[in-house]
Copies of this chain bind each other. A is one copy, B any other.
């Protein structure tokens, strides 16, 4: 039962000294630092602990490895968005949680601010590299759709006005995410970006957005003045 899904019988020859998932994770870190073009295969070799021929055998060339790193990051990003927006927390809180979760990635505890891997590295390559451009575009759209789904639910639940446009608002919410992704790498402080995110949430959700934190769970969504 397990042999057909996970382990294809038994691997025949010398066992690999690395775990593919881990290797891609470490390669991602390397690309994240210097970007795609400035990251040499030697740097990737050192980051993954694999020597160059093993890298080629396992992933193909540098480009293929980068695409694999993008795929992995995009999937994790979408999962993080869904996790932040998932359970039935009020919309402003959920959005703030999403932005905080992003900032936690953009400001690693032990290193300098690095921003978003996708935006911080793929945007540069996207101009001349069709595969990167399409992966980047698809990734951004995937994030959009995760947010849009939550906003659609919010509209259905009355958390948003009846005439609200979830798709358009998702575009704005994504724009806030993008500015965080950029500015964290550009040297802005985490506190400043939290404030930007909060301002964005307030604008998206309307003036009635909670301000005191956990206090007003049962806030009113007034429509008048």
A47 at the A/B interface (Cβ < 8 Å)? no
- Interface range, A side: 35 or more
In the complex, which residues 88-127 of chain A have their Cβ closer than 8 Å to any Cβ of chain B?
112-115, 119-127
CA A188 to CA B188, docked complex, whole Å = 27
**Given the known A-B contacts A38-B37, A115-B127, A179-B175, are A133 and B187 also in contact in the complex, defined by CB atoms under 8 Å?**
yes
Asked if B187 and A137 make an inter-chain contact with CB atoms under 8 angstroms apart, the answer reads: yes
Taking a contact as CB atoms under 8 Å apart, the answer to whether A140 and B195 are in contact is no
The reply on A33 being an interface residue by CB < 8 A is yes
Does A21 count as interface, using CB distance less than 8 angstroms?
Answer: no
A129-164: which have CB < 8 Å to B? 133-134, 136-137, 140
Pair A186/B35 contact, Cβ less than 8 Å: no
On whether the beta carbons of B203 and A172 are closer than 8 Å, the reply is yes
Of the candidates B33, B134, B175, B195, which one forms a contact with A200 in the assembled complex, judged by CB atoms under 8 Å apart? B175
Q: A182 within 8 Å of B by Cβ?
A: yes
Top 10 nearest A-B pairs by Cβ distance? A175-B179, A37-B37, A35-B124, A37-B38, A168-B199, A137-B187, A124-B124, A175-B175, A137-B186, A171-B196
Contacts A169-B203, A172-B176, A172-B196 aside, 9 further interface pairs with beta carbons under 8 A come to A37-B37, A115-B123, A121-B124, A133-B187, A165-B199, A169-B199, A171-B199, A172-B203, A178-B178
